[in-house]
Amino acid sequence: MSVSKAGALMQLPKQFLVLSTLLCCMSLSASEQVYYRYLDVNGVQVINSSIPPEYAQRGYEVVTRYGRLIKKVDPAMTGEQLARRRSQVELKAWDAELMRRYSSAAEIIEARKRKLQTVNGNIRILSGNVGTIDNRIHRKLGDAADQERAGRSVSKETLTQLKELKVKRTNALEHIKLRQQEMQEIARRFDEDLARFNKISAGLQ
Protein backbone atom coordinates (compact mmCIF):
# COMPACT_ATOMS: atom_id res chain seq x y z
CA MET A 1 0.00 0.00 0.00
CA SER A 2 1.47 3.38 -1.01
CA VAL A 3 2.11 6.29 1.34
CA SER A 4 -0.45 8.46 -0.47
CA LYS A 5 -3.20 5.87 -0.02
CA ALA A 6 -2.33 5.47 3.64
CA GLY A 7 -2.55 9.24 4.11
CA ALA A 8 -5.92 9.35 2.41
CA LEU A 9 -7.28 6.67 4.72
CA MET A 10 -6.15 8.64 7.77
CA GLN A 11 -8.27 11.60 6.61
CA LEU A 12 -11.52 9.58 6.39
CA PRO A 13 -14.19 9.82 9.14
CA LYS A 14 -13.76 7.45 12.09
CA GLN A 15 -17.07 5.73 11.35
CA PHE A 16 -15.87 4.86 7.87
CA LEU A 17 -12.57 3.52 9.18
CA VAL A 18 -14.36 1.26 11.66
CA LEU A 19 -16.63 -0.01 8.91
CA SER A 20 -13.63 -0.60 6.65
CA THR A 21 -11.86 -2.62 9.39
CA LEU A 22 -14.92 -4.80 9.84
CA LEU A 23 -15.15 -5.36 6.12
CA CYS A 24 -11.44 -6.32 6.04
CA CYS A 25 -11.96 -8.93 8.74
CA MET A 26 -14.99 -10.31 6.92
CA SER A 27 -13.03 -10.43 3.67
CA LEU A 28 -10.11 -12.22 5.37
CA SER A 29 -12.39 -14.81 6.92
CA ALA A 30 -14.02 -15.50 3.59
CA SER A 31 -10.98 -15.67 1.33
CA GLU A 32 -8.05 -16.18 3.77
CA GLN A 33 -6.01 -13.94 1.49
CA VAL A 34 -2.86 -12.82 3.26
CA TYR A 35 0.36 -11.08 2.33
CA TYR A 36 3.90 -11.11 3.65
CA ARG A 37 5.65 -7.93 4.72
CA TYR A 38 9.44 -8.11 4.96
CA LEU A 39 12.64 -6.20 4.25
CA ASP A 40 14.72 -6.94 1.17
CA VAL A 41 18.52 -6.92 1.02
CA ASN A 42 18.49 -3.13 0.73
CA GLY A 43 16.30 -2.71 3.80
CA VAL A 44 13.28 -1.69 1.72
CA GLN A 45 9.91 -2.93 2.95
CA VAL A 46 8.18 -5.31 0.56
CA ILE A 47 4.63 -6.64 0.63
CA ASN A 48 3.98 -9.69 -1.50
CA SER A 49 1.72 -12.73 -1.70
CA SER A 50 4.74 -14.99 -1.19
CA ILE A 51 8.11 -14.71 0.51
CA PRO A 52 11.46 -16.18 -0.57
CA PRO A 53 12.96 -18.61 1.99
CA GLU A 54 16.06 -16.48 2.47
CA TYR A 55 13.91 -13.55 3.56
CA ALA A 56 11.64 -15.72 5.71
CA GLN A 57 14.67 -16.63 7.81
CA ARG A 58 15.15 -12.95 8.64
CA GLY A 59 11.65 -12.52 10.06
CA TYR A 60 8.50 -11.16 8.50
CA GLU A 61 4.91 -10.11 9.15
CA VAL A 62 1.70 -11.64 7.87
CA VAL A 63 -0.79 -8.91 6.93
CA THR A 64 -4.10 -8.47 5.17
CA ARG A 65 -4.33 -6.78 1.82
CA TYR A 66 -5.12 -3.61 3.74
CA GLY A 67 -1.98 -3.85 5.86
CA ARG A 68 -3.56 -5.11 9.08
CA LEU A 69 -1.05 -7.16 11.06
CA ILE A 70 -2.14 -10.75 11.61
CA LYS A 71 1.03 -12.38 12.82
CA LYS A 72 4.66 -11.45 13.39
CA VAL A 73 7.36 -14.08 12.84
CA ASP A 74 10.70 -13.43 14.50
CA PRO A 75 13.99 -14.09 12.69
CA ALA A 76 15.25 -17.67 12.85
CA MET A 77 17.81 -18.24 15.57
CA THR A 78 21.42 -18.65 14.57
CA GLY A 79 23.44 -21.73 15.50
CA GLU A 80 25.03 -19.79 18.35
CA GLN A 81 21.61 -18.74 19.68
CA LEU A 82 20.32 -22.31 19.49
CA ALA A 83 23.38 -23.57 21.35
CA ARG A 84 22.88 -20.89 24.01
CA ARG A 85 19.23 -21.88 24.45
CA ARG A 86 20.18 -25.55 24.78
CA SER A 87 22.85 -24.69 27.30
CA GLN A 88 20.37 -22.67 29.35
CA VAL A 89 17.92 -25.58 29.40
CA GLU A 90 20.70 -27.98 30.41
CA LEU A 91 21.89 -25.54 33.08
CA LYS A 92 18.43 -25.35 34.65
CA ALA A 93 18.17 -29.15 34.66
CA TRP A 94 21.61 -29.37 36.29
CA ASP A 95 20.65 -26.85 38.96
CA ALA A 96 17.41 -28.71 39.73
CA GLU A 97 19.27 -32.01 40.03
CA LEU A 98 21.89 -30.55 42.37
CA MET A 99 19.28 -28.99 44.66
CA ARG A 100 17.32 -32.24 44.68
CA ARG A 101 20.30 -34.43 45.58
CA TYR A 102 22.23 -32.22 47.98
CA SER A 103 21.35 -29.89 50.82
CA SER A 104 24.88 -28.62 51.42
CA ALA A 105 28.33 -28.42 49.87
CA ALA A 106 29.57 -30.84 52.54
CA GLU A 107 27.27 -33.54 51.14
CA ILE A 108 28.83 -33.15 47.71
CA ILE A 109 32.33 -33.42 49.17
CA GLU A 110 31.37 -36.55 51.10
CA ALA A 111 29.72 -38.13 48.04
CA ARG A 112 32.87 -37.40 46.03
CA LYS A 113 35.01 -39.06 48.67
CA ARG A 114 32.83 -42.20 48.78
CA LYS A 115 32.76 -42.58 45.01
CA LEU A 116 36.51 -42.18 44.68
CA GLN A 117 37.10 -44.67 47.48
CA THR A 118 34.94 -47.24 45.71
CA VAL A 119 36.81 -46.93 42.43
CA ASN A 120 40.16 -46.86 44.22
CA GLY A 121 39.18 -50.11 45.95
CA ASN A 122 38.63 -51.69 42.54
CA ILE A 123 42.06 -50.49 41.46
CA ARG A 124 43.67 -52.12 44.51
CA ILE A 125 41.93 -55.43 43.71
CA LEU A 126 43.11 -55.27 40.11
CA SER A 127 46.64 -54.42 41.24
CA GLY A 128 46.55 -57.46 43.52
CA ASN A 129 45.50 -59.59 40.57
CA VAL A 130 48.47 -58.30 38.59
CA GLY A 131 50.78 -59.28 41.44
CA THR A 132 49.29 -62.80 41.51
CA ILE A 133 49.71 -63.11 37.74
CA ASP A 134 53.32 -61.93 37.98
CA ASN A 135 54.05 -64.64 40.54
CA ARG A 136 52.51 -67.30 38.30
CA ILE A 137 54.50 -66.04 35.33
CA HIS A 138 57.68 -66.15 37.41
CA ARG A 139 57.02 -69.80 38.36
CA LYS A 140 56.27 -70.77 34.77
CA LEU A 141 59.46 -69.15 33.59
CA GLY A 142 61.27 -71.19 36.23
CA ASP A 143 59.64 -74.37 34.87
CA ALA A 144 60.75 -73.44 31.37
CA ALA A 145 64.32 -72.83 32.56
CA ASP A 146 64.36 -76.21 34.35
CA GLN A 147 63.22 -77.97 31.19
CA GLU A 148 65.96 -76.32 29.15
CA ARG A 149 68.64 -77.14 31.75
CA ALA A 150 67.51 -80.75 31.55
CA GLY A 151 68.22 -80.67 27.83
CA ARG A 152 64.56 -80.62 26.83
CA SER A 153 62.57 -78.16 24.80
CA VAL A 154 60.08 -76.07 26.72
CA SER A 155 56.80 -77.95 26.65
CA LYS A 156 53.89 -76.69 24.59
CA GLU A 157 51.74 -76.62 27.73
CA THR A 158 54.18 -74.30 29.53
CA LEU A 159 54.41 -71.97 26.55
CA THR A 160 50.60 -71.83 26.26
CA GLN A 161 50.21 -71.07 29.95
CA LEU A 162 52.81 -68.31 29.77
CA LYS A 163 51.01 -66.75 26.81
CA GLU A 164 47.66 -66.86 28.60
CA LEU A 165 49.12 -65.34 31.75
CA LYS A 166 50.67 -62.47 29.78
CA VAL A 167 47.31 -61.76 28.13
CA LYS A 168 45.62 -61.70 31.54
CA ARG A 169 48.29 -59.35 32.86
CA THR A 170 47.84 -56.98 29.92
CA ASN A 171 44.05 -56.98 30.39
CA ALA A 172 44.37 -56.31 34.11
CA LEU A 173 46.71 -53.38 33.50
CA GLU A 174 44.29 -51.96 30.94
CA HIS A 175 41.44 -52.18 33.45
CA ILE A 176 43.59 -50.36 36.00
CA LYS A 177 44.24 -47.60 33.48
CA LEU A 178 40.51 -47.26 32.76
CA ARG A 179 39.69 -47.08 36.47
CA GLN A 180 42.33 -44.39 36.96
CA GLN A 181 40.78 -42.39 34.13
CA GLU A 182 37.38 -42.94 35.72
CA MET A 183 38.67 -41.52 39.00
CA GLN A 184 39.86 -38.40 37.21
CA GLU A 185 36.49 -37.98 35.52
CA ILE A 186 34.60 -38.51 38.79
CA ALA A 187 36.74 -35.92 40.54
CA ARG A 188 36.19 -33.46 37.68
CA ARG A 189 32.39 -33.90 37.71
CA PHE A 190 32.11 -33.55 41.46
CA ASP A 191 34.33 -30.46 41.41
CA GLU A 192 32.02 -28.92 38.80
CA ASP A 193 28.96 -29.88 40.85
CA LEU A 194 30.46 -28.31 43.95
CA ALA A 195 31.36 -25.08 42.16
CA ARG A 196 27.89 -24.83 40.61
CA PHE A 197 26.14 -25.65 43.89
CA ASN A 198 28.09 -22.92 45.69
CA LYS A 199 27.19 -20.48 42.93
CA ILE A 200 23.44 -21.10 42.93
CA SER A 201 23.40 -21.25 46.75
CA ALA A 202 24.88 -17.75 46.75
CA GLY A 203 22.10 -16.60 44.43
CA LEU A 204 24.35 -16.20 41.40
CA GLN A 205 23.61 -17.45 37.88
pTM given for the model: 0.54
User: Going by C-beta distance under 8 Å and a sequence separation of 6 or more, which residues neighbour residue 37?
Assistant: 45, 46, 47, 60, 61, 62, 63, 67
Each residue's pLDDT tens digit, 44-75: 888 888 888 777 778 888 888 788 888 888 88
Contact 105, 197 (CB under 8 A): yes
Tell me what the pLDDT averaged over the chain comes to. 81
**Which residues in the chain are classed under CATH 1.20.120?**
81-201
**pLDDT band with cut points at 50, 70 and 90 for residue 30:** very low
CATH 1.10.287 for domain 81-201, yes or no, is no
pLDDT at 88 over 90: no
Contact 75, 57 (CB under 8 A): yes
